Chains A and B, each alone.
Chain A
Protein backbone atom coordinates (compact mmCIF):
# COMPACT_ATOMS: atom_id res chain seq x y z
CA UNK A 1 0.00 0.00 0.00
CA UNK A 2 1.35 3.37 -0.98
CA UNK A 3 1.70 5.67 2.01
CA UNK A 4 2.13 9.38 2.60
CA UNK A 5 5.51 10.60 3.81
CA UNK A 6 5.50 13.54 6.18
CA UNK A 7 8.89 14.90 7.18
CA UNK A 8 9.29 17.58 9.82
CA UNK A 9 12.38 19.32 11.14
CA UNK A 10 14.79 16.72 9.84
CA UNK A 11 18.55 17.24 10.09
CA UNK A 12 21.21 14.67 9.29
CA UNK A 13 24.84 14.55 10.38
CA UNK A 14 28.05 12.79 9.45
CA UNK A 15 29.86 12.87 12.78
CA UNK A 16 30.09 16.55 13.65
CA UNK A 17 29.30 17.69 10.10
CA UNK A 18 25.71 18.70 9.46
CA UNK A 19 24.78 17.50 5.99
CA UNK A 20 21.16 18.66 5.79
CA UNK A 21 19.39 21.20 7.91
CA UNK A 22 15.82 21.28 9.16
CA UNK A 23 13.92 19.83 6.23
CA UNK A 24 10.14 19.53 6.25
CA UNK A 25 8.03 18.27 3.38
CA UNK A 26 5.09 16.08 2.50
CA UNK A 27 5.08 13.48 -0.25
CA UNK A 28 1.67 12.31 -1.41
CA UNK A 29 0.95 8.61 -1.98
CA UNK A 30 0.91 7.38 -5.58
CA UNK A 31 2.96 10.28 -6.86
CA UNK A 32 6.50 10.82 -8.08
CA UNK A 33 8.55 13.44 -6.29
CA UNK A 34 11.93 14.39 -7.79
CA UNK A 35 14.82 15.84 -5.78
CA UNK A 36 17.12 18.10 -7.77
CA UNK A 37 20.03 20.30 -6.79
CA UNK A 38 23.78 20.71 -7.16
CA UNK A 39 26.22 18.04 -5.97
CA UNK A 40 26.71 17.97 -2.22
CA UNK A 41 23.37 19.65 -1.46
CA UNK A 42 22.26 16.66 0.59
CA UNK A 43 19.49 15.31 -1.61
CA UNK A 44 20.90 11.77 -1.55
CA UNK A 45 21.53 12.02 2.19
CA UNK A 46 17.96 13.15 2.69
CA UNK A 47 16.69 10.27 0.55
CA UNK A 48 18.68 7.84 2.68
CA UNK A 49 17.10 9.18 5.86
CA UNK A 50 13.71 8.08 4.51
CA UNK A 51 14.57 4.38 4.88
CA UNK A 52 17.08 4.80 7.70
CA UNK A 53 20.01 3.90 5.46
CA UNK A 54 21.80 7.09 6.46
CA UNK A 55 22.67 5.75 9.90
CA UNK A 56 24.47 2.77 8.34
CA UNK A 57 27.32 5.14 7.44
CA UNK A 58 29.78 5.40 10.33
CA UNK A 59 28.97 8.56 12.26
CA UNK A 60 25.61 8.95 10.52
CA UNK A 61 22.86 10.35 12.76
CA UNK A 62 19.48 11.95 12.27
CA UNK A 63 17.31 14.39 14.19
CA UNK A 64 13.67 15.07 13.45
CA UNK A 65 10.63 13.12 12.42
CA UNK A 66 9.65 11.09 9.35
CA UNK A 67 6.02 9.99 9.46
CA UNK A 68 4.90 7.18 7.17
CA UNK A 69 1.13 7.67 7.40
CA UNK A 70 0.88 7.69 11.18
CA UNK A 71 4.06 5.89 12.13
CA UNK A 72 7.25 7.75 13.01
CA UNK A 73 10.17 5.94 11.36
CA UNK A 74 12.49 7.37 14.01
CA UNK A 75 10.30 6.41 16.97
CA UNK A 76 12.21 4.82 19.81
CA UNK A 77 10.56 1.42 19.40
CA UNK A 78 11.05 1.25 15.62
CA UNK A 79 13.50 -1.31 14.21
CA UNK A 80 15.44 0.16 11.25
CA UNK A 81 15.51 -3.27 9.62
CA UNK A 82 11.72 -3.33 9.62
CA UNK A 83 11.64 0.17 8.12
CA UNK A 84 13.78 -0.93 5.20
CA UNK A 85 11.40 -3.81 4.53
CA UNK A 86 8.59 -1.33 3.90
CA UNK A 87 10.60 1.40 2.17
CA UNK A 88 12.37 -0.04 -0.88
CA UNK A 89 15.41 1.49 -2.50
CA UNK A 90 17.06 1.46 -5.91
CA UNK A 91 20.64 2.66 -6.16
CA UNK A 92 22.71 4.72 -8.56
CA UNK A 93 24.65 1.74 -9.87
CA UNK A 94 22.69 -1.45 -10.53
CA UNK A 95 23.58 -3.82 -7.71
CA UNK A 96 22.03 -7.24 -8.21
CA UNK A 97 23.56 -9.88 -5.94
CA UNK A 98 26.34 -11.20 -8.19
CA UNK A 99 26.28 -14.69 -6.74
CA UNK A 100 22.53 -15.15 -7.16
CA UNK A 101 20.48 -16.11 -10.18
CA UNK A 102 17.91 -13.71 -11.62
CA UNK A 103 15.15 -15.61 -9.84
CA UNK A 104 16.95 -15.60 -6.49
CA UNK A 105 17.68 -11.90 -6.81
CA UNK A 106 13.99 -11.09 -7.09
CA UNK A 107 13.11 -13.57 -4.36
CA UNK A 108 15.85 -12.32 -2.00
CA UNK A 109 13.67 -9.84 -0.15
CA UNK A 110 10.80 -12.30 0.13
CA UNK A 111 13.06 -14.93 1.62
CA UNK A 112 14.20 -12.43 4.23
CA UNK A 113 10.62 -11.66 5.18
CA UNK A 114 9.42 -15.15 5.74
CA UNK A 115 8.61 -18.54 4.32
CA UNK A 116 6.95 -18.87 0.96
CA UNK A 117 5.92 -21.93 -0.97
CA UNK A 118 7.75 -22.52 -4.22
CA UNK A 119 4.57 -21.85 -6.19
CA UNK A 120 4.01 -18.56 -4.36
CA UNK A 121 7.58 -17.52 -5.04
CA UNK A 122 7.23 -18.36 -8.71
CA UNK A 123 4.11 -16.26 -8.92
CA UNK A 124 5.54 -13.24 -7.10
CA UNK A 125 8.82 -13.34 -9.04
CA UNK A 126 6.94 -13.44 -12.33
CA UNK A 127 4.63 -10.62 -11.26
CA UNK A 128 7.55 -8.48 -10.07
CA UNK A 129 9.59 -9.03 -13.22
CA UNK A 130 6.52 -8.18 -15.30
CA UNK A 131 6.03 -5.11 -13.12
CA UNK A 132 9.60 -4.09 -13.90
CA UNK A 133 9.09 -4.69 -17.66
CA UNK A 134 11.82 -7.32 -17.60
CA UNK A 135 9.88 -10.59 -17.73
CA UNK A 136 9.96 -11.08 -21.49
CA UNK A 137 13.71 -10.55 -21.63
CA UNK A 138 14.64 -12.97 -18.86
CA UNK A 139 11.85 -15.56 -18.59
CA UNK A 140 13.99 -18.17 -20.37
CA UNK A 141 17.04 -17.67 -18.20
CA UNK A 142 15.79 -17.17 -14.66
CA UNK A 143 18.49 -19.47 -13.35
CA UNK A 144 21.32 -17.53 -14.93
CA UNK A 145 23.26 -15.01 -12.84
CA UNK A 146 21.85 -11.50 -12.68
CA UNK A 147 25.26 -10.01 -13.31
CA UNK A 148 25.12 -11.34 -16.90
CA UNK A 149 22.42 -8.83 -17.85
CA UNK A 150 23.04 -5.43 -19.42
CA UNK A 151 23.24 -2.39 -17.15
CA UNK A 152 19.67 -1.29 -17.92
CA UNK A 153 18.34 -4.81 -17.41
CA UNK A 154 20.25 -5.08 -14.13
CA UNK A 155 18.66 -1.86 -12.92
CA UNK A 156 15.19 -3.14 -13.81
CA UNK A 157 16.10 -6.36 -12.00
CA UNK A 158 16.89 -4.27 -8.94
CA UNK A 159 13.54 -2.52 -9.30
CA UNK A 160 11.83 -5.93 -9.54
CA UNK A 161 13.69 -7.00 -6.40
CA UNK A 162 12.56 -3.86 -4.60
CA UNK A 163 8.87 -4.10 -5.59
CA UNK A 164 8.65 -7.87 -4.98
CA UNK A 165 8.18 -7.24 -1.25
CA UNK A 166 5.36 -4.74 -1.98
CA UNK A 167 6.94 -1.77 -0.19
CA UNK A 168 4.95 1.30 0.86
CA UNK A 169 7.48 3.65 -0.67
CA UNK A 170 10.10 3.28 -3.40
CA UNK A 171 13.22 5.44 -3.17
CA UNK A 172 15.43 5.86 -6.23
CA UNK A 173 18.88 7.39 -5.97
CA UNK A 174 19.85 8.57 -9.47
CA UNK A 175 18.66 5.26 -10.94
CA UNK A 176 19.55 6.18 -14.52
CA UNK A 177 22.87 7.96 -14.14
CA UNK A 178 24.87 4.84 -15.07
CA UNK A 179 22.62 3.92 -18.00
CA UNK A 180 22.45 4.71 -21.70
CA UNK A 181 19.55 6.83 -23.08
CA UNK A 182 17.47 3.86 -24.24
CA UNK A 183 17.71 2.07 -20.89
CA UNK A 184 16.97 5.39 -19.22
CA UNK A 185 13.80 5.75 -21.24
CA UNK A 186 12.75 2.22 -20.25
CA UNK A 187 13.21 3.05 -16.56
CA UNK A 188 11.36 6.35 -16.92
CA UNK A 189 8.41 4.62 -18.55
CA UNK A 190 8.49 2.10 -15.73
CA UNK A 191 8.42 4.85 -13.09
CA UNK A 192 5.26 6.18 -14.74
CA UNK A 193 3.63 2.75 -14.34
CA UNK A 194 4.91 2.13 -10.82
CA UNK A 195 3.44 5.32 -9.42
CA UNK A 196 -0.01 3.79 -9.79
CA UNK A 197 0.95 1.51 -6.89
CA UNK A 198 3.77 3.12 -4.96
CA UNK A 199 4.87 6.40 -3.49
CA UNK A 200 8.04 7.19 -5.41
CA UNK A 201 10.86 9.55 -4.55
CA UNK A 202 13.66 9.95 -7.09
CA UNK A 203 16.94 11.83 -6.87
CA UNK A 204 18.21 12.96 -10.25
CA UNK A 205 20.89 15.16 -11.74
CA UNK A 206 19.03 15.25 -15.01
CA UNK A 207 16.53 18.09 -14.99
CA UNK A 208 14.78 16.87 -18.13
CA UNK A 209 14.26 13.60 -16.34
CA UNK A 210 12.75 15.35 -13.35
CA UNK A 211 10.46 17.27 -15.68
CA UNK A 212 9.46 14.08 -17.53
CA UNK A 213 8.75 11.70 -14.67
CA UNK A 214 7.77 13.66 -11.60
CA UNK A 215 4.56 15.27 -10.35
CA UNK A 216 6.32 17.34 -7.74
CA UNK A 217 9.90 18.61 -7.66
CA UNK A 218 11.99 19.63 -4.67
CA UNK A 219 15.00 21.86 -5.16
CA UNK A 220 17.87 21.54 -2.64
CA UNK A 221 20.79 23.90 -2.35
CA UNK A 222 23.65 24.75 -0.03
CA UNK A 223 24.93 28.15 0.86
CA UNK A 224 28.59 27.21 0.43
CA UNK A 225 30.78 24.11 0.43
CA UNK A 226 30.84 22.70 3.96
CA UNK A 227 27.47 24.26 4.81
CA UNK A 228 24.46 21.99 5.34
CA UNK A 229 22.08 21.47 2.43
CA UNK A 230 18.60 22.96 2.64
CA UNK A 231 15.29 22.46 0.93
CA UNK A 232 14.74 25.63 -1.10
CA UNK A 233 11.32 24.87 -2.47
CA UNK A 234 8.92 22.06 -3.27
CA UNK A 235 6.15 22.59 -5.78
CA UNK A 236 4.37 21.06 -8.73
CA UNK A 237 6.95 20.09 -11.31
CA UNK A 238 5.31 22.22 -13.94
CA UNK A 239 5.52 25.27 -11.76
CA UNK A 240 9.12 24.64 -10.68
CA UNK A 241 10.23 24.46 -14.30
CA UNK A 242 8.14 27.35 -15.58
CA UNK A 243 7.70 29.84 -12.80
CA UNK A 244 9.55 28.93 -9.59
CA UNK A 245 8.96 31.18 -6.64
CA UNK A 246 12.61 31.36 -5.53
CA UNK A 247 15.29 33.04 -7.62
CA UNK A 248 17.93 30.35 -6.81
CA UNK A 249 15.69 27.64 -8.28
CA UNK A 250 15.31 29.56 -11.50
CA UNK A 251 19.05 30.17 -11.67
CA UNK A 252 19.73 26.46 -11.22
CA UNK A 253 17.12 25.29 -13.69
CA UNK A 254 18.17 27.74 -16.36
CA UNK A 255 21.76 26.59 -15.96
CA UNK A 256 23.16 29.72 -14.41
CA UNK A 257 24.98 27.66 -11.76
CA UNK A 258 25.37 24.09 -10.53
Chain B
Protein backbone atom coordinates (compact mmCIF):
# COMPACT_ATOMS: atom_id res chain seq x y z
CA UNK B 1 0.00 0.00 0.00
CA UNK B 2 2.76 2.41 0.92
CA UNK B 3 4.37 2.08 -2.48
CA UNK B 4 1.21 2.98 -4.37
CA UNK B 5 0.60 6.26 -2.58
CA UNK B 6 0.04 9.26 -4.83
CA UNK B 7 1.42 11.86 -2.47
CA UNK B 8 4.93 13.07 -3.21
CA UNK B 9 7.51 10.60 -1.93
CA UNK B 10 8.87 11.51 1.47
CA UNK B 11 12.44 12.66 1.45
CA UNK B 12 15.21 11.38 3.69
CA UNK B 13 17.63 8.55 4.04
CA UNK B 14 15.37 6.43 6.25
CA UNK B 15 12.52 6.17 3.73
CA UNK B 16 13.61 2.85 2.28
CA UNK B 17 14.32 1.33 5.66
CA UNK B 18 10.93 2.35 7.03
CA UNK B 19 9.13 0.99 4.02
CA UNK B 20 10.65 -2.48 4.17
CA UNK B 21 10.23 -2.58 7.91
CA UNK B 22 6.52 -1.84 7.68
CA UNK B 23 5.91 -4.75 5.32
CA UNK B 24 8.03 -7.17 7.30
CA UNK B 25 6.36 -6.80 10.70
CA UNK B 26 5.50 -10.31 11.94
CA UNK B 27 2.18 -9.21 13.41
CA UNK B 28 1.03 -7.92 10.04
CA UNK B 29 2.11 -11.10 8.33
CA UNK B 30 0.34 -13.34 10.79
CA UNK B 31 -2.82 -11.29 10.62
CA UNK B 32 -2.72 -11.21 6.82
CA UNK B 33 -2.31 -14.99 6.77
CA UNK B 34 -5.14 -15.51 9.23
CA UNK B 35 -7.62 -13.27 7.47
CA UNK B 36 -6.71 -14.55 4.02
CA UNK B 37 -6.95 -18.12 5.29
CA UNK B 38 -10.39 -17.47 6.78
CA UNK B 39 -11.62 -16.01 3.52
CA UNK B 40 -10.36 -18.95 1.50
CA UNK B 41 -11.76 -21.46 4.00
CA UNK B 42 -15.18 -19.85 3.69
CA UNK B 43 -15.10 -20.15 -0.09
CA UNK B 44 -13.97 -23.76 0.09
CA UNK B 45 -16.73 -24.69 2.55
CA UNK B 46 -19.36 -22.95 0.44
CA UNK B 47 -18.14 -24.73 -2.68
CA UNK B 48 -18.08 -28.08 -0.89
CA UNK B 49 -21.68 -27.63 0.30
CA UNK B 50 -22.88 -26.54 -3.13
CA UNK B 51 -21.14 -29.43 -4.90
CA UNK B 52 -22.43 -31.99 -2.38
CA UNK B 53 -26.01 -30.70 -2.56
CA UNK B 54 -26.06 -30.45 -6.34
CA UNK B 55 -24.53 -33.90 -6.83
CA UNK B 56 -26.90 -35.71 -4.47
CA UNK B 57 -29.87 -33.73 -5.73
CA UNK B 58 -29.03 -34.56 -9.34
CA UNK B 59 -28.89 -38.26 -8.46
CA UNK B 60 -32.40 -38.10 -7.04
CA UNK B 61 -34.01 -35.88 -9.66
CA UNK B 62 -32.69 -37.98 -12.55
CA UNK B 63 -34.66 -40.97 -11.24
CA UNK B 64 -37.81 -38.99 -10.45
CA UNK B 65 -40.68 -40.23 -12.63
CA UNK B 66 -42.72 -37.06 -12.11
CA UNK B 67 -42.04 -33.38 -12.64
CA UNK B 68 -39.92 -32.40 -9.64
CA UNK B 69 -41.18 -28.82 -9.55
CA UNK B 70 -44.92 -29.27 -10.07
CA UNK B 71 -45.79 -32.59 -8.42
CA UNK B 72 -47.81 -32.57 -5.20
CA UNK B 73 -46.67 -35.92 -3.95
CA UNK B 74 -43.70 -37.25 -2.00
CA UNK B 75 -43.05 -40.94 -2.55
CA UNK B 76 -39.39 -41.50 -3.41
CA UNK B 77 -39.58 -45.04 -2.00
CA UNK B 78 -42.36 -46.04 -4.39
CA UNK B 79 -41.98 -47.91 -7.59
CA UNK B 80 -41.57 -45.92 -9.74
CA UNK B 81 -40.32 -43.10 -7.41
CA UNK B 82 -42.57 -40.05 -7.61
CA UNK B 83 -41.88 -36.84 -5.73
CA UNK B 84 -42.16 -33.07 -6.21
CA UNK B 85 -41.82 -29.91 -4.25
CA UNK B 86 -44.98 -28.02 -5.24
CA UNK B 87 -46.65 -28.40 -1.84
CA UNK B 88 -43.45 -27.59 0.02
CA UNK B 89 -42.73 -24.48 -2.02
CA UNK B 90 -46.32 -23.31 -1.59
CA UNK B 91 -46.36 -23.94 2.15
CA UNK B 92 -42.95 -22.39 2.75
CA UNK B 93 -43.72 -19.24 0.80
CA UNK B 94 -47.25 -18.79 2.15
CA UNK B 95 -46.29 -19.26 5.79
CA UNK B 96 -43.30 -16.94 5.39
CA UNK B 97 -45.39 -14.28 3.67
CA UNK B 98 -47.97 -14.42 6.48
CA UNK B 99 -45.12 -14.12 8.98
CA UNK B 100 -43.66 -11.10 7.18
CA UNK B 101 -47.02 -9.34 6.85
CA UNK B 102 -47.50 -9.62 10.60
CA UNK B 103 -43.92 -9.22 11.84
CA UNK B 104 -42.49 -6.37 9.75
CA UNK B 105 -44.99 -3.63 10.70
CA UNK B 106 -45.01 -4.72 14.34
CA UNK B 107 -41.20 -4.83 14.44
CA UNK B 108 -40.92 -1.35 12.91
CA UNK B 109 -43.44 -0.10 15.46
CA UNK B 110 -41.54 -1.61 18.38
CA UNK B 111 -38.21 -0.33 17.03
CA UNK B 112 -39.59 3.19 16.60
CA UNK B 113 -41.09 3.10 20.07
CA UNK B 114 -37.80 2.02 21.62
CA UNK B 115 -35.68 4.44 19.61
CA UNK B 116 -37.88 7.53 19.43
CA UNK B 117 -40.86 7.43 21.75
CA UNK B 118 -40.16 5.48 24.92
CA UNK B 119 -38.60 7.28 27.87
CA UNK B 120 -35.07 6.04 28.45
CA UNK B 121 -36.07 4.17 31.59
CA UNK B 122 -38.50 2.07 29.60
CA UNK B 123 -36.50 1.73 26.38
CA UNK B 124 -33.61 -0.28 27.82
CA UNK B 125 -35.69 -3.00 29.55
CA UNK B 126 -37.97 -3.23 26.53
CA UNK B 127 -35.02 -3.75 24.21
CA UNK B 128 -33.78 -6.41 26.60
CA UNK B 129 -37.09 -8.25 26.54
CA UNK B 130 -37.03 -8.25 22.75
CA UNK B 131 -33.51 -9.70 22.90
CA UNK B 132 -34.82 -12.42 25.22
CA UNK B 133 -37.41 -13.40 22.63
CA UNK B 134 -34.54 -14.14 20.27
CA UNK B 135 -32.89 -16.40 22.83
CA UNK B 136 -35.82 -18.82 23.13
CA UNK B 137 -34.98 -22.08 21.30
CA UNK B 138 -37.23 -22.82 18.36
CA UNK B 139 -38.41 -26.16 19.78
CA UNK B 140 -39.83 -24.21 22.73
CA UNK B 141 -41.71 -22.00 20.31
CA UNK B 142 -42.95 -25.17 18.62
CA UNK B 143 -44.22 -26.70 21.84
CA UNK B 144 -45.79 -23.44 22.93
CA UNK B 145 -47.39 -23.17 19.50
CA UNK B 146 -48.76 -26.72 19.54
CA UNK B 147 -49.97 -26.73 23.16
CA UNK B 148 -51.12 -23.15 23.64
CA UNK B 149 -51.44 -21.36 20.31
CA UNK B 150 -53.27 -24.05 18.33
CA UNK B 151 -56.25 -24.44 20.70
CA UNK B 152 -56.24 -20.72 21.37
CA UNK B 153 -56.41 -19.92 17.67
CA UNK B 154 -59.34 -22.27 17.12
CA UNK B 155 -61.69 -19.51 18.17
CA UNK B 156 -60.02 -16.98 15.91
CA UNK B 157 -60.20 -19.44 13.04
CA UNK B 158 -63.94 -19.91 13.55
CA UNK B 159 -64.44 -16.16 13.69
CA UNK B 160 -62.39 -15.61 10.53
CA UNK B 161 -64.28 -18.42 8.80
CA UNK B 162 -67.62 -16.92 9.72
CA UNK B 163 -66.98 -13.24 8.95
CA UNK B 164 -64.06 -13.34 6.49
CA UNK B 165 -64.93 -16.59 4.76
CA UNK B 166 -65.94 -14.73 1.61
CA UNK B 167 -62.27 -13.90 1.04
CA UNK B 168 -61.70 -17.56 0.11
CA UNK B 169 -58.36 -17.73 1.94
CA UNK B 170 -60.14 -17.55 5.31
CA UNK B 171 -62.82 -20.02 4.29
CA UNK B 172 -62.34 -23.08 6.48
CA UNK B 173 -63.43 -25.95 4.26
CA UNK B 174 -62.54 -28.88 6.47
CA UNK B 175 -62.84 -29.31 10.20
CA UNK B 176 -59.93 -29.94 12.49
CA UNK B 177 -57.53 -28.20 14.81
CA UNK B 178 -55.72 -25.06 13.78
CA UNK B 179 -52.61 -26.99 12.76
CA UNK B 180 -52.54 -24.99 9.55
CA UNK B 181 -50.33 -22.62 7.58
CA UNK B 182 -52.03 -19.62 9.16
CA UNK B 183 -51.00 -20.72 12.65
CA UNK B 184 -47.50 -21.49 11.39
CA UNK B 185 -47.33 -18.00 9.90
CA UNK B 186 -48.30 -16.41 13.22
CA UNK B 187 -45.77 -18.52 15.09
CA UNK B 188 -43.04 -17.66 12.59
CA UNK B 189 -43.96 -13.99 12.92
CA UNK B 190 -43.30 -14.15 16.66
CA UNK B 191 -40.03 -15.97 16.05
CA UNK B 192 -38.66 -13.48 13.52
CA UNK B 193 -39.91 -10.43 15.40
CA UNK B 194 -36.80 -9.97 17.58
CA UNK B 195 -34.25 -10.05 14.78
CA UNK B 196 -36.19 -7.56 12.67
CA UNK B 197 -36.83 -5.33 15.67
CA UNK B 198 -33.22 -5.32 16.80
CA UNK B 199 -31.73 -4.53 13.42
CA UNK B 200 -34.24 -1.79 12.58
CA UNK B 201 -33.84 -0.29 16.07
CA UNK B 202 -30.08 -0.05 15.56
CA UNK B 203 -30.61 1.62 12.20
CA UNK B 204 -33.13 4.08 13.62
CA UNK B 205 -30.72 5.00 16.40
CA UNK B 206 -28.05 5.76 13.81
CA UNK B 207 -30.11 8.36 11.98
CA UNK B 208 -27.87 11.45 12.09
CA UNK B 209 -29.22 14.05 14.49
CA UNK B 210 -28.84 16.70 11.82
CA UNK B 211 -31.38 14.97 9.57
CA UNK B 212 -33.91 14.87 12.37
CA UNK B 213 -33.19 18.49 13.29
CA UNK B 214 -33.70 19.49 9.66
CA UNK B 215 -37.25 18.21 9.88
CA UNK B 216 -37.83 19.56 13.38
CA UNK B 217 -36.69 23.05 12.38
CA UNK B 218 -39.25 23.09 9.57
CA UNK B 219 -41.97 22.54 12.15
CA UNK B 220 -42.38 18.80 11.82
CA UNK B 221 -44.20 16.90 14.54
CA UNK B 222 -42.60 13.79 15.98
CA UNK B 223 -44.38 11.55 13.50
CA UNK B 224 -43.43 13.85 10.62
CA UNK B 225 -39.79 13.75 11.71
CA UNK B 226 -39.98 9.97 11.59
CA UNK B 227 -41.64 10.03 8.20
CA UNK B 228 -39.28 12.63 6.68
CA UNK B 229 -35.93 11.56 8.05
CA UNK B 230 -35.98 8.40 10.16
CA UNK B 231 -37.85 6.02 7.87
CA UNK B 232 -36.17 7.13 4.61
CA UNK B 233 -32.76 6.87 6.23
CA UNK B 234 -33.62 3.48 7.69
CA UNK B 235 -35.18 2.14 4.51
CA UNK B 236 -32.34 -0.09 3.42
CA UNK B 237 -31.86 -1.22 7.01
CA UNK B 238 -35.54 -2.17 7.24
CA UNK B 239 -35.21 -4.20 4.05
CA UNK B 240 -32.06 -5.94 5.26
CA UNK B 241 -33.67 -6.70 8.61
CA UNK B 242 -36.76 -8.08 6.92
CA UNK B 243 -34.61 -10.30 4.74
CA UNK B 244 -32.81 -11.65 7.79
CA UNK B 245 -36.20 -12.42 9.30
CA UNK B 246 -37.49 -13.93 6.08
CA UNK B 247 -34.42 -16.13 5.87
CA UNK B 248 -35.18 -17.47 9.30
CA UNK B 249 -38.87 -17.97 8.49
CA UNK B 250 -38.09 -19.83 5.27
CA UNK B 251 -35.69 -22.19 6.99
CA UNK B 252 -37.49 -22.71 10.31
CA UNK B 253 -37.79 -26.42 11.00
CA UNK B 254 -38.72 -27.61 14.47
CA UNK B 255 -41.44 -25.13 15.31
CA UNK B 256 -43.20 -25.82 12.02
CA UNK B 257 -42.78 -29.58 12.34
CA UNK B 258 -44.36 -29.58 15.80
CA UNK B 259 -47.31 -27.34 14.95
CA UNK B 260 -48.28 -28.37 11.44
CA UNK B 261 -50.17 -31.56 10.69
CA UNK B 262 -48.48 -32.20 7.36
CA UNK B 263 -50.24 -33.31 4.22
CA UNK B 264 -49.30 -33.19 0.56
CA UNK B 265 -52.13 -30.95 -0.57
CA UNK B 266 -52.01 -27.44 -1.89
CA UNK B 267 -54.95 -25.53 -0.49
CA UNK B 268 -55.69 -21.85 -0.78
CA UNK B 269 -57.82 -22.20 2.34
CA UNK B 270 -55.18 -21.14 4.82
CA UNK B 271 -57.20 -22.31 7.81
CA UNK B 272 -57.47 -25.92 6.64
CA UNK B 273 -55.08 -28.22 8.46
CA UNK B 274 -52.28 -29.55 6.34
CA UNK B 275 -49.59 -28.40 3.96
CA UNK B 276 -45.88 -28.55 4.52
CA UNK B 277 -42.63 -26.62 4.23
CA UNK B 278 -39.21 -27.61 2.92
CA UNK B 279 -37.49 -27.66 6.28
CA UNK B 280 -40.38 -29.32 8.08
CA UNK B 281 -40.61 -32.02 5.42
CA UNK B 282 -36.91 -32.78 5.59
CA UNK B 283 -36.98 -32.97 9.38
CA UNK B 284 -40.00 -35.26 9.54
CA UNK B 285 -38.93 -37.62 6.73
CA UNK B 286 -35.16 -37.79 7.06
CA UNK B 287 -34.93 -40.47 9.73
CA UNK B 288 -37.15 -43.01 8.04
CA UNK B 289 -35.87 -42.37 4.51
CA UNK B 290 -33.52 -44.70 2.68
CA UNK B 291 -30.50 -43.32 0.87
CA UNK B 292 -32.46 -42.43 -2.25
CA UNK B 293 -35.15 -40.80 -0.13
CA UNK B 294 -32.49 -38.70 1.55
CA UNK B 295 -31.18 -37.60 -1.84
CA UNK B 296 -34.70 -36.55 -2.75
CA UNK B 297 -34.93 -34.52 0.47
CA UNK B 298 -31.57 -32.95 -0.31
CA UNK B 299 -32.93 -31.96 -3.72
CA UNK B 300 -35.79 -30.17 -1.97
CA UNK B 301 -33.28 -28.49 0.32
CA UNK B 302 -31.43 -27.23 -2.72
CA UNK B 303 -34.62 -25.53 -3.93
CA UNK B 304 -35.01 -23.83 -0.54
CA UNK B 305 -31.40 -22.67 -0.86
CA UNK B 306 -32.15 -21.24 -4.31
CA UNK B 307 -35.28 -19.45 -3.05
CA UNK B 308 -33.30 -17.88 -0.21
CA UNK B 309 -30.61 -16.72 -2.65
CA UNK B 310 -33.27 -15.22 -4.92
CA UNK B 311 -34.90 -13.36 -2.04
CA UNK B 312 -31.55 -11.95 -0.92
CA UNK B 313 -30.67 -10.94 -4.46
CA UNK B 314 -33.99 -9.14 -4.82
CA UNK B 315 -33.40 -7.29 -1.57
CA UNK B 316 -29.95 -6.17 -2.66
CA UNK B 317 -31.37 -5.01 -5.95
CA UNK B 318 -34.05 -2.95 -4.19
CA UNK B 319 -31.44 -1.33 -1.96
CA UNK B 320 -29.03 -0.61 -4.81
CA UNK B 321 -31.71 0.85 -7.06
CA UNK B 322 -32.05 3.93 -4.89
CA UNK B 323 -28.49 4.17 -3.69
CA UNK B 324 -28.00 7.78 -4.71
CA UNK B 325 -30.90 8.74 -2.47
CA UNK B 326 -29.63 6.79 0.50
CA UNK B 327 -28.46 8.56 3.62
CA UNK B 328 -25.04 7.03 3.29
CA UNK B 329 -24.06 9.51 0.59
CA UNK B 330 -24.64 12.56 2.75
A interface residues, Cβ below 8 angstroms from B: 51, 53, 56, 58, 81-86, 88-89, 91, 93, 95-100, 108-109, 112-113, 145, 147-148, 158, 161-162, 165
Contact = CB atoms under 8 A, between A and B. Distances in A.
B260 to A, nearest CB: 41
27 contacts: A53-B216, A53-B217, A56-B216, A81-B219, A83-B219, A84-B216, A84-B219, A85-B218, A85-B219, A88-B218, A91-B214, A91-B217, A95-B208, A95-B214, A96-B214, A97-B214, A98-B211, A98-B232, A98-B329, A99-B322, A99-B326, A112-B218, A145-B329, A148-B329, A161-B218, A162-B218, A165-B219
A96 B224 CA distance: 15
Interface string B279-312: 0000000000000000000000000000000000
Given A88-B217, A100-B325, 19 more contacts: A82-B219, A83-B219, A84-B216, A84-B217, A85-B219, A88-B218, A95-B208, A97-B211, A97-B229, A98-B232, A98-B233, A98-B325, A98-B330, A112-B220, A113-B219, A145-B325, A147-B329, A162-B217, A165-B218
Contacts of A109: 218-219
Which of B216, B219, B232 counts the most A-chain CB atoms under 10 A from its CB? B219
A145 B217 CA distance: 20
A148 B219 contact: no
A82 B220 CA distance: 9
B41 interface: no
Which of A82, A98, A158 counts the most B-chain CB atoms under 10 A from its CB? A98
Contacts of B327: 98-99
B233 A81 contact: no
A108 B218 contact: yes
B217 A89 contact: yes
Nearest to A99: B232
Contacts of A58: 120
B217 A51 contact: yes
A250 B229 CA distance: 43
Contacts of A89: 217
Nearest to A171: B217
Contact of B228 (A88, A108, A162): A108
Contacts of A98: 211, 232-233, 325-327, 329-330
A86 B219 CA distance: 8
B211 to A, nearest CB: 6
Interface in B212-262: 213-221, 224, 228-229, 232-233, 235
B324 interface: yes
B2 interface: no
A176 B286 CA distance: 68
B221 A81 contact: yes
A81 B213 contact: no
B132 interface: no
Which of B229, B233, B324, B325 counts the most A-chain CB atoms under 10 A from its CB? B325
Contact of B213 (A82, A91, A162, A165): A91
B210 interface: yes
Which of A82, A84, A158 counts the most B-chain CB atoms under 10 A from its CB? A84
B235 A99 contact: yes
A58 B211 CA distance: 17
Contact of A91 (B120, B210, B228): B210
Nearest to B323: A145
Contacts of A88: 217-218
A84 B220 CA distance: 8
Contact of B330 (A108, A147, A162, A165): A147
B214 A145 contact: no
A158 B330 CA distance: 14
A88 B322 CA distance: 30
A148 B329 CA distance: 8
A51 B224 CA distance: 18
A95 to B, nearest CB: 4
Contacts of B235: 99
A81 B326 CA distance: 27
